[in-house]
Chains A and B, each alone.
Chain A
C-alpha cells in the first residue's frame, strides 16, 4: 500500500511560503495515521490554488468546476458510501461560487469531510476579495477596501445544523491534523475551516495575525453544546480553533430511504434484464 506520497518529484504550483504546503503535510499525515487505503480515498475539488491539493496527494480525485466540489463529492459518497470522500478548496470556491451547495449539503448531511482553506482572499485570480475578507481589506479590485460583511462559516454551519464544525490553522500543524482525523472518523458531513496565510495577496491576515487572533479550545469546551459553540463562532475578535461542535446524527445513508442499511457501492449493483421485462405487460382485453 502506498502512503499518499508520490514516488517521484512533483512540481507544486503554490508560492514559496504558502500555507498550502504545511496543509498538505498535515493531510497526508492524517490519512496515513488513520491507515486508510489510498484506493478507497477520493478527493473532490473545484478551482483555485487550494483546490489543487488533490493533484499533490496520491489517491483518486475528481477535480471539477470552480465552486462545485461539494456537489460532486456528495454524489460520490452517495454512490459509494464505503469511500472516504474529501471535498477540498478555497474560501472563494466553497463559500462564494459554491455557497448554495454548502447550505444544502449541510441539510443533506452526506458522509464526507469538507476542508476549506481560508486565506480570506482569492489567490489564483490574483488577490480580489473573498467572502471571508475582512471589511477594509484593500485589494486590486477593492481599492477603497472591502465594504461587504464577511460570511461567518462556523456560525452558518452551526445554524444550518451541521453535526461537526471545526476550525484549524495551518500554523498549528499537529492540532489541525487531529481535526482532520476526527472529521474523517465522524459519521456525516464534517466541515473544517482552516486559516492559512496567503503570502502574496493578503498582507493583513498574515501568519502573525492568525497567531495572535486565534486560540485553541481545550478539554473544558463542551463540544456537544450548541449554544457554547455558537458563542465561540460569533466571537470575531478571539477566533477559536478546535472542534467547536460535534454530535452524533443520521448521515445521508441512514436518512435516505434508498439504502435500507445496504451500503453496496453502485458499481456492484447490477440490474437484471429479466426484471426489466416487468416494466411492460403485454396488453390484453379485460373481457
Chain B
C-alpha cells in the first residue's frame, strides 16, 4: 500500500532550512522514495519560508497539504502553517518556539541548540535537527554521515567531527522518540539521484550543445543561468548578463546567426519584453531557445510563487504568423530531454523553441535512476556556404540551408524585412507569399517530430484527464490511489504543436477533464481549438501554490459524485 509522511521545516530565510532539506533528501534518496519542495517569500532575509519533504514507500512527486511532522526554527514560524495542521500533527522545536502553538495541537520540545553546543558549537544545531529527523524515520547512519563528511570536508577535521557528533546526539534522541512515524522502506529499492528541475534543465542545455547564454535576472528563471555559469569552464559556455531582456534575446539571435547554440532564460515579465525578437526569429528563420520560468502574474504578481499562466503568452508572442515549438517538462527526466531537444529542433527547423517551466517544478527535488543524453541533439545543421549562397533559397527539403558568416565563401544575408532568396529587402507581393508559405510549411515538416503525451491509467480511454508541465506527479498519484475513477491520463510534455495522432482518442472520449495551475484553463482552450472538442471540466488553481495531493483528490472526488 502507498504510504507517505510529510515533514515540514519552517523558519526564516537564512536560517538553514535548505541545508537540512538537502541533507535529508540526499540521504533518503539512497534508500527510499522522497520528494521535496520549498515555498519562500520575496525577500532576502526574515519572513517565513518552509520546506516540505515527503517520504514514501512508492515513487512520489507531489506535495501534501496536511503536515505530519513540523519543525519550527523560530517563534513566528507557525502562523502561516496553521491551516495545514491536523490533530495528528506533531510540532517540534525549542521551548520558546512552541509557546504560540494553540493548545489543541501536539508539541514536543527538543533543545537542538543545546545539542549543537554539546557537540562543540551552536552552529551545529541544524545538523542535530537533521540527526533527529534521520533517527525518527530510520534513515541510514552511514549514508547520512558520508554526506555530512562530504559537505564539511573542506572546512577542516574539527568541523566534520563536530557535525558528526551533533548528528549522533540528534539521531539517538530521534530514535527514542515514542511518537516517531512508522518507517517507510520499499521492499526493493536501488539508490537514486535527487535533483531539481533547474539541475536537469542545465544538464539538458549542455547536452543540447549550449555554448552561449545571454539573460537578465528574473526569478525563477535566473537559477538556470547561474548553473550554466557554474558549468561554463568545463563545457566552454560563454555566459553574459544582458542589459535587459530585449538585448538578451537579440543577442541570442545574433549568437545563433554567427554559429553558436544560444539560450536565454527569463520569467513572464522578462519574456514580455522579448516578444518583438521572437517575431524576428520567426521571419529571419534564426533559431532560438527560450526558457520561460512561470510565476504568477499579471505584472510582478507573486515573484516567488508558482503558476502555469503564461502558455498563451508564449503561444502567441510575436507579431505576424510563424511556426514555433513549446515544451513543458513534467517528470524530472523530461527536463533533460526537452531542453536538449529544444536546441536540436531550433536548429533543424530554424524556429524559436520554448521550454516552459514554473517555479514549483524548477525548485522541487525529485528522483531519477539515470538520465539519458541523446547524442543526436548535438548534431548541427549549419552548412558551409558556397560563393553563390542564398540564405533563403527555396530548397527541395522545404527548409533553406543555414550558413553562418565567415564559414565558406558565401555571404549570409538575414533580414527582418520581407526578403528575397538572397536576403535582400523586397516588396514583391508574390515573393512575400512564397516566403511566408515557405516559413509556414515548416508546421507540416515539424509534424513528424512532435512528442506524444505520456498516457497512463485506464486503457478504456473513455474518461480523460489532460494536463501539462509540472502537474504530472500530483495527478499520477491521485489516479494511482483512485483506480475506481477509471480515468485515462494524457500528460503533455510538448504543448505545441499538439499531435494529430490523438484526434481519435480525444474526439471519442466520453468526458474530458483538464487540470491546470491557472485561473482560466489556457491549455483546455488550446485542446478545444486544436481538436474541435468540448472540455467538460476544468480543475484550476491559481493562488500561487502548486497542487497538493490531498486537495487535488478532494477536487477530483467532487467531480465523481
Contact = CB atoms under 8 A, between A and B. Distances in A.
A72 B203 CA distance: 26
Interface string A269-283: 111010111111111
Given A78-B212, A79-B212, A286-B142, A71 B284 contact: no
B425 A71 contact: no
Contacts of A82: 406
Interface string A252-287: 000010100000011101110101111111111111
Interface in B230-288: 232, 234-240, 242-244, 246-247, 250-255, 257-262, 276-277, 280, 284
Contact of A283 (B257, B369, B424): B369
A146 interface: no
B211 interface: yes
Contact of A40 (B232, B375, B406, B423): B406
B246 A71 contact: yes
Interface residues of B, dominant DSSP: mixed
Given A71-B247, A71-B251, A83-B258, A267 B370 contact: no
A276 B246 CA distance: 31
Nearest to B147: A286
B: interface residue count bin: 35 or more
Contacts of B371: 279-280
B254 A74 contact: yes
A271 B211 contact: yes
Given A64-B250, A82-B406, A266 B416 contact: no
Contact of B259 (A71, A80, A101): A80
Contacts of B276: 65
Contacts of A72: 250-251, 253-254, 257
B369 A39 contact: no
B541 interface: no
B207 interface: yes
A29 interface: no
A280 B407 contact: no
A259 to B, nearest CB: 8
Contacts of B253: 62, 64, 72, 75
A58 interface: yes
Given A101-B243, A258-B236, A285-B30, A276 B259 contact: no
A14 interface: no
A55 interface: yes
Contacts of A230: none
Given A72-B254, A266-B212, A42 B238 contact: no
Given A39-B408, A79-B255, A71 B250 contact: yes
B280 A60 contact: no
Contact of B254 (A52, A73, A283): A73
Interface residues of A, number: 57
Nearest to B214: A75
A282 B221 CA distance: 27
B410 A269 contact: no
Contacts of A267: 258-260, 380, 382, 404, 406-407
Nearest to A57: B411
Contact of A100 (B243, B259, B369, B405): B243
B411 A38 contact: yes
B158 interface: no
A78 B238 contact: yes
Contacts of B235: 271, 275
16 contacts: A38-B411, A60-B413, A61-B415, A65-B277, A72-B251, A72-B257, A75-B212, A75-B262, A79-B260, A258-B239, A267-B260, A267-B404, A267-B407, A269-B211, A286-B146, A286-B147
Complex A-B, nearest 9 residue pairs according to Cβ-Cβ distance, in ascending order: A267-B259, A75-B254, A286-B146, A72-B254, A104-B243, A60-B405, A287-B142, A273-B375, A75-B251
Interface of A: 13, 38-40, 42, 44, 47, 52, 54-55, 58-65, 68, 71-76, 78-80, 82-83, 100-101, 103-104, 108, 256, 258, 265-267, 269-271, 273, 275-287
Interface of B: 29-31, 140, 142-143, 146-147, 191-193, 203, 206-207, 209, 211-212, 214, 232, 234-240, 242-244, 246-247, 250-255, 257-262, 276-277, 280, 284, 369-371, 373, 375, 378, 380, 382, 404-417, 423-425
